[in-house]
Amino acid sequence: MADNARAKRLADLIREVVAQKLQRGIKDPRLGTHITITDTRVTGDLREATVFYTVYGDEEDRKAAAAGLESAKGILRSEVGRAAGVKFTPTLAFVADALPDNARTIEDLLDKARASDEKVRETATGASYAGEADPYKKPESTDETDDSTE
């Protein structure tokens, strides 16, 4: 089993090689400039690599990019093998990255929270406190003199 540093170096190399090949080497129209390689992970035995990607566009563009990556998998794997110089070139699996969808969901939730805070702020503007100005009870003051001191 390889050490984690070697797996990390191989993952970084795979990410760079795949990104360069997608940008310059593959002529598939489904794989335009709207694909970004976000992360790569390699198993501990260096046999399998998972490449995470995002696609700028709508659902149709995402499906076309997934089909294009699947068809270009062999070319990309041979390029990785040529660049890596390892005994066994890892198999590549392409997975659409869920990070942009998660970020969009978080942004929507933050927008809702801001709108709710603004409603509370508008309601509180010009409002007065319920009750008296000083809501705390104080003991009544006694002005009686103490008879035991005589």
| pLDDT tens digits, 81-97 | 888 888 898 999 999 88
Q: Which of 42, 22, 37 is nearest to 88 (CA)?
A: 42
Domains plus CATH for the chain?
4-102 (3.30.300.20)
Q: Enter the pTM of the model.
A: 0.68
Alpha carbon separation from 79 to 31, 49, 50, 86 (Å, rounded): 16, 14, 16, 12
DSSP assignment letter at 34: T
**Each residue of 36-45: pLDDT tens digit?**
888 999 998 8
